[in-house]
Chains A and B, each alone.
Chain A
């Protein structure tokens, strides 16, 4: 079972920031938070990941709370092309890691003009 909880859907106005929340209250010390998105009829696309510090790349920012029990993915200026299902995943890093990703239901983000 997925170790994350996300709202099923969200709307965002084009050009505004999209803030996608994720709860992972049972996350352990060796688990990272990953975000992927899936645009209709395509495979999931990696966005960003982090352990405990905030992270930023060309696509998005990831804010992880100090207790690591929740995080927020921020798309700073959402465009229509950002309409997709966004998945928050916690993944173990360490010995014996199989690399398996456990996807939940994700959040369907609809960016509106």
Chain B
């Protein structure tokens, strides 16, 4: 069974551009969470979606947005990219909102130049 898949694996963008990152959860998982991990730091929570509704949001500016589709896949959008947005973006899926079994993908490495 496939794990959590994220695309693309690597991405280079220029300051001011917009980026869309994609995540496909494990089959049967209805919740998707997004995390940002800056080099040398632990992951920071950005969003959680469950059944296509936002269920949690971290301390990130409005430039960050996300959505979840009927098939439970998700997209994370970041507008007006800043150099500080360079990070590993991780997606995690689980059966429910408070599920114990969070499974993370390998992430998308975003570099903003």
Contacts and interface: CB of A to CB of B under 8 A. Distances in A.
Contacts of B44: 103
B92 to A, nearest CB: 7
Nearest to B96: A99
Given A43-B92, A43-B105, A43-B107, A49 B100 contact: yes
Contacts of A85: 42
Contact of A46 (B43, B96, B98, B102): B102
B106 A41 contact: yes
A99 B33 contact: yes
Given A43-B90, A106-B42, A99 B97 contact: yes
B72 interface: no
Given A97-B97, A99-B97, A99-B98, A44 B43 contact: yes
Contacts of A42: 106-107
A103 B56 contact: no
Contacts of A101: 33, 35, 43, 45, 92, 102
Interface residues of B, number: 28
Contacts, number: 62
B42 A87 contact: yes
A44 B104 contact: yes
Interface string B85-113: 00000101010111111111111000000
A98 B106 contact: no
Contact of B101 (A43, A46, A105): A46
A20 B58 CA distance: 28
A71 to B, nearest CB: 17
A81 interface: no
A102 interface: yes
Nearest 6 pairs between A and B by C-beta?
A: A43-B104, A103-B42, A98-B56, A97-B98, A100-B45, A99-B98
